[in-house]
Copies of this chain bind each other. A is one copy, B any other.
């Protein structure tokens, strides 16, 4: 049966969402290609590039709007939200983090300050362990040079980096109360509410979607116009809003007394590495490539931070700056990681399937999907780190920046994104920043931050050299003659070529004089008879070049938050090794953090079977043994049931439980319980139990090995209990 003829759409009806999306993707991809090729072209026309970039931004807005429409039409948006809720338990995690003092709102007995959180003992310990793991995984393994700069930073450094001028968000205030808001957040909330309210005309809904897609591009005027057009009011009071203005997100202070230096708290740790480049290169014996790393606090004065510990005003960064020859971005250890399969979400997939693809890093570099080996190397190493620290790699991906997201100088950039109840969170970025940072600081600080490259075989080159007639110049220019000759000697090749051409034509040469003439004139007009220009052949043994920088940059606090969501699960009621827990066979459902032993805050919980003096000697013997082995142990002799005490330890992710029971008192044997399986074994001695825990925490063994080596215990504690 022949299909019915397709309904011909009315000439002025909008295209179906799927068609619109397809068209938007095609247009974006083609313009992105243009932008990319213009950027990489050495003879790039600035005006042409700028026009192409503007087209790309517009197309990106259309793409985003089309995407949104298609998602609503085919149910993708709803499905994604539902999947996120089913997978992660934001409320359960939040309750656990609060209840067990992972965090507290800083200074809350004084009313608190939004965007500042203290790390309580469990989170502080995990943070320290993750930092140690990071240092081991990156700094030690790669032989990186770690340094530590100061948080206080004088203004000129951050002027050069662009933060003084551009590190801003738009702020509006309640015109009556003065309460501050981030303009883009307010506007977005307003637009979403309007769209969901369903009272907009199709045209207005389209305008709202389009505006929403380009919120981050609005400057002060455009934002002011949008707020007025959409009649946005202050949310709590419904008062009018003031005109938006750019608010710098750096904390400003004054270093030294009143004649002091204007300073800021650094917004990133990277600059502290760049300004030390010369010393680092020297420390490395002048060898390239090499990497420097820094772990330290950074600060951002968010206007009105809300998303809990994900958007804070003071946070720990771990950054690497890998310095590499701009034409040789191979990595010596790339072969060792080329086979690593990671979830890549390249530009093309973002524009088509919208699904990350598992791909080996080697293939991705070979295909040109990842721009070079060094980037690929760090993507693979970052993926390995994410796994080691306990993230679930099914919910980890590397998303490539779309063309319009990248800084003009960057050649490629990938974000480590982790899926959580907040959807995909950017936790690290791995960017090829080319030579932008070192050239900027070189110019601003008048210090050449370059590397000396010695050619394998010396090159010869033809050069212009000025040969002034000293006597004639001296006569004509008197005191200025010396300055003119110095300026000629210092002139670059392009300038000398231009002078030579003028000279060859028999015309007077206008020589720009460094510092100007005595008369105040900036240049001297020199008679051609007083000058000569020659071509000389010179052997060049090397050159100075600005290295490229590949920057993997990690936000430790965000990684930790993702870890809590990935590690969290609820053990069903009645489960939980309850068989071993006497009366606790009907244990209530209990939260567990399945943290890797290496990063767990406490490695072992020490429990007496019950609160009786008979267990004390063995308990303290065990406590001493674990501490001497460098394994953090906590004692819980609170008198609660053993099931409840296990559950409390599970909540903070303690991987092992060691229980002193009557048999321990008799013969020194002792049980070890595994958090994840709740299975138990009996070790013949405290020393054996310490060794079990030590090996598992150092990654030298697994619980499967332990179960194979020592006899399992079922209801051992239970069997002993009646004897007490």
Contacts and interface: CB of A to CB of B under 8 A. Distances in A.
B110 A256 contact: no
A277 to B, nearest CB: 9
A303 B118 contact: no
B121 A146 contact: yes
B148 A118 contact: yes
A299 interface: yes
Contacts of A140: 627, 630, 632
A180 B257 contact: yes
Nearest to A261: B113
B152 A313 contact: yes
Interface in A111-127: 113-121, 124-125, 127
Given A147-B121, A148-B119, A283-B121, A253 B256 contact: no
A251 interface: yes
A143 interface: yes
A636 B154 CA distance: 36
A145 interface: yes
A106 B447 CA distance: 15
A585 interface: no
Interface residues of A, number: 87
A409 interface: no
A297 B298 CA distance: 12
A258 B146 CA distance: 37
A180 B261 CA distance: 12
Contacts of A147: 118-121, 124
A100 B138 CA distance: 23
A255 B110 contact: no
Contacts of A118: 147-150, 272, 276
Contact of A157 (B107, B280, B314): B107
A575 to B, nearest CB: 25
Question: Which residue, of A117, A285, A441, has the highest number of chain B Cβ atoms within 10 A?
Answer: A285
Given A120-B283, A124-B146, A638-B285, A253 B251 contact: yes
Nearest to A114: B256
Contacts of A445: 109-110
Contacts of A156: 110
A634 interface: yes
A280 B109 CA distance: 13
Interface string A275-294: 11011101101000000000
Nearest to A178: B259
Contacts of A100: 283
Contacts of A115: 255-256
A136 B630 CA distance: 7
A263 B113 contact: yes
A135 interface: yes
Contacts of A120: 145, 147, 276, 279-280, 283
A394 interface: no
A153 interface: yes
A249 B118 CA distance: 24
A425 interface: no
Given A118-B276, A146-B121, A179 B265 contact: no
Contact of A143 (B110, B272, B299, B634): B634
B259 A151 contact: no
A544 interface: no
A247 B254 contact: no
Contacts of A285: 636, 638
A104 interface: yes
Nearest to A148: B119
Contacts of A630: 136, 140
B148 A304 contact: no
Contacts of A157: 107, 110
A293 to B, nearest CB: 9
A696 interface: no
A274 to B, nearest CB: 9
A151 B297 contact: yes
Interface in A287-346: 297, 299, 301-304, 313-314
A153 B107 contact: yes
A128 interface: yes
A120 B284 CA distance: 12
Which residue, A135, A178, A279, A633, has most C-beta atoms of chain B within 10 A?
A279
A23 to B, nearest CB: 42
A321 to B, nearest CB: 13
B154 A107 contact: yes
A196 to B, nearest CB: 29
A138 to B, nearest CB: 12
Contacts of A127: 148
A441 B313 contact: no
Nearest to A108: B275
A90 B157 CA distance: 32
B447 A151 contact: no
A585 to B, nearest CB: 25
Given A109-B447, A119-B147, 16 more contacts: A101-B283, A104-B276, A110-B157, A115-B255, A119-B148, A121-B146, A132-B132, A140-B627, A143-B634, A173-B259, A180-B259, A180-B260, A251-B254, A252-B253, A253-B265, A256-B303
13 contacts: A109-B441, A110-B275, A120-B276, A121-B145, A121-B280, A124-B146, A141-B627, A151-B314, A171-B257, A178-B259, A180-B260, A247-B257, A256-B301
Give 4 closest A-B pairs by Cβ, nearest first. A109-B445, A180-B257, A119-B148, A121-B145
